């Protein structure tokens, strides 16, 4: 549908507005009353109560002279995933579970670690303090052995209690950046402007005493706040939201003043696979403003995967899909079909590795591909050519091709899918 050429006379805003209208129409004919399931923000007392319940179960089991166990939803099987075009990947309500027994030598350690982290969470919530996943790991790095052990258990607990990670008072340092036409108030009252216009350069570091702000002062992006839920008074003039895969591309667009060149917009990057805060932010921006959301990723399997995470979410976080996914996300570029269309020189293409091909095959088997025939076509094109391309490949055409030609044309003439 977006392929339909609108002719050069159609203004940029008309194209975006029509697109926005069709997105909203598609939404409204979806599920009229979205089933409320998955995690919801829970009050501290609710979290404390659920932990108490779990501990009580353990105690009563012990009192019966039996070995206690935790029943944990299996977050790593596609069997437990159902796909809904309007939400993305969701966990089925009767999913397979695994039992972490306390009387089996294999799982007793995990059982103990879950208990330990549960108790730490309990203390955090009770005292209304916050800790990062790293903090928890470093309380006893010998015991945990590996940071990923902690991460995994925290996600399991979040899934078991059906409570978002933040309600467990566990933070993770944001890695995403945001720039453009957006202002908001943080939970503590700090006003933040992400404007990257020449007249509104953001200078958070008080280094101006070193000299007058010179032309070397760079347009800076704002780090994605760690408490998305606490953001207030969000204001924007943006006509669309552009999600950029890589920080390098993001910085390049900032330097080229892309935010203000065409029309006001918001740019976000998750620097690779996005963290939860970045996904929460994108979701929040969509919910509030309903502006078109585009992704700019490499034309490789990994880039496609990253885009899918924004759009439909991931398997292991499917229990939180309601808070994390934006199915209205569109694939703007770099499309495999762009490689031929733009005559990108062969020497800036990279052959797919064996691993790339495996990943491409696995994505093609996922449930959401069936409702995205255009995506399937693009992916098959990539599989046939056995080549991939980074966004960087556009610079072989000219150094500012991306911001001066590629993106403006895409936005004007609707070359997204």
Per CB under 7 A, residues contacting DNA are 74, 76, 96-100, 104-107, 109-110, 132-134, 137, 145-149, 151-152, 172-173, 175, 245-248, 271-276, 298, 302, 305, 309, 314-317, 353, 355, 358-359, 362, 390
Nearest-angstrom CA–CA distance, 40 and 29: 24
The least distance separating DNA from the CB of residue 107, rounded to whole angstroms, comes to 4
Judged by CB, which is closer to DNA: 28, or 148? 148
The least distance separating DNA from the CB of residue 324, rounded to whole angstroms, comes to 8
The least distance separating DNA from the CB of residue 145, rounded to whole angstroms, comes to 7
Dig out the tokens for 32 from the structure.
């009229």
Bridge partners for 99 per DSSP: 71
Dig out the tokens for 139 from the structure.
């309380």
28 cis-preceded (ω within 30 degrees of 0): no
Judged by CB, which is closer to DNA: 164, or 292? 164
Residue 88 and residue 110 in contact, taking contact as beta carbons nearer than 8 Å: no
Judged by CB, which is closer to DNA: 107, or 263? 107
Judged by CB, which is closer to DNA: 150, or 195? 150
Supply angle C-alpha 66, 71, 72, rounded to 5. 155
C-alpha R_g of the chain: 23
The least distance separating DNA from the CB of residue 233, rounded to whole angstroms, comes to 27
The least distance separating DNA from the CB of residue 24, rounded to whole angstroms, comes to 28
Residue-wise burial string across 184-201, b where 16 or more C-beta atoms lie within 10 A, e elsewhere: beeeeeeebebbbeeeee
Nearest-angstrom CA–CA distance, 134 and 129: 15
Judged by CB, which is closer to DNA: 116, or 175? 175
Query: Is 368 among the residues known to form the active site?
Result: no
Q: If DSSP states are collapsed to H, E and C, what string results for 297-336?
A: CCECHHHHHHHHHHHHCCCCCHHHHHHHCCCCCEEEECCH
The least distance separating DNA from the CB of residue 171, rounded to whole angstroms, comes to 9
Catalytic residue among 122, 130, 137, 138: 138
Judged by CB, which is closer to DNA: 25, or 71? 71
Residue 318 and residue 89 in contact, taking contact as beta carbons nearer than 8 Å: yes
Q: How far is CA 216 from CA 213, 249, 392, in A?
A: 8, 19, 24
Kindly list the catalytic residues.
Answer: 138
């Amino acid at each position: 549908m977006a392929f339909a050429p609108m002719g050069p006379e159609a203004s940029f805003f008309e194209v975006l507005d029509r697109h926005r209208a069709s997105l909203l129409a598609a939404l409204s004919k979806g599920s009229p009353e979205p089933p409320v399931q998955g995690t919801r923000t829970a009050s501290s007392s609710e979290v404390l109560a659920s932990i108490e319940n779990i501990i009580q179960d353990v105690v009563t089991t012990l009192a019966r002279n039996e070995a206690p166990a935790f029943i944990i939803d299996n977050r790593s099987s596609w069997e437990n995933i159902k796909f809904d075009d309007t939400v993305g990947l969701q966990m089925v309500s009767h999913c397979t579970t695994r039992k972490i027994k306390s009387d089996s030598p294999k799982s007793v350690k995990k059982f103990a670690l879950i208990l330990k982290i549960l108790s730490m969470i309990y203390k955090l919530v009770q005292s209304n303090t916050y800790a990062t996943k790293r903090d928890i790991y470093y309380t006893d790095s010998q015991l945990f052995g590996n940071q990923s052990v902690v991460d995994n258990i925290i996600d399991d607990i979040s899934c078991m209690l059906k409570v978002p990670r933040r309600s467990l008072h566990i933070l993770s340092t944001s890695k995403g950046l945001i720039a453009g036409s957006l202002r908001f108030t943080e939970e503590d009252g700090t006003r933040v402007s992400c404007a990257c216009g020449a007249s509104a350069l953001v200078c958070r570091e008080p280094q101006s005493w070193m000299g007058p702000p010179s032309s070397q002062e760079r347009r800076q992006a704002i780090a994605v706040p760690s408490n998305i839920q606490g953001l207030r008074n969000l204001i924007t003039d943006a006509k669309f939201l552009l999600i950029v895969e890589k920080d390098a591309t993001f910085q390049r667009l900032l330097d080229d003043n892309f935010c203000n060149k065409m029309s006001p917009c918001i740019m976000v990057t998750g620097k690779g696979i996005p963290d939860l805060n970045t996904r929460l932010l994108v979701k929040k921006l969509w919910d509030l403003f309903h502006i078109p959301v585009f992704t700019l990723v490499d034309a490789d399997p990994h880039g496609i995967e990253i885009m899918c995470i924004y759009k439909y979410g991931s398997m292991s976080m499917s229990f939180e899909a309601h808070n994390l996914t934006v199915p209205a996300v569109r694939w703007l570029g770099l499309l495999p079909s762009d490689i031929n269309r733009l005559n990108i020189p062969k020497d800036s293409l990279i052959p797919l590795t064996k691993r790339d091909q495996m990943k491409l095959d696995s994505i093609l088997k996922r449930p959401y591909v069936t409702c995205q025939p255009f995506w399937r076509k693009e992916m098959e094109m990539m599989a046939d050519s056995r080549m991939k391309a980074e966004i960087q490949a556009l610079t072989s055409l000219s150094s500012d091709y991306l911001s001066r030609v590629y993106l403006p044309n895409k936005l004007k003439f609707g070359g997204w899918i």
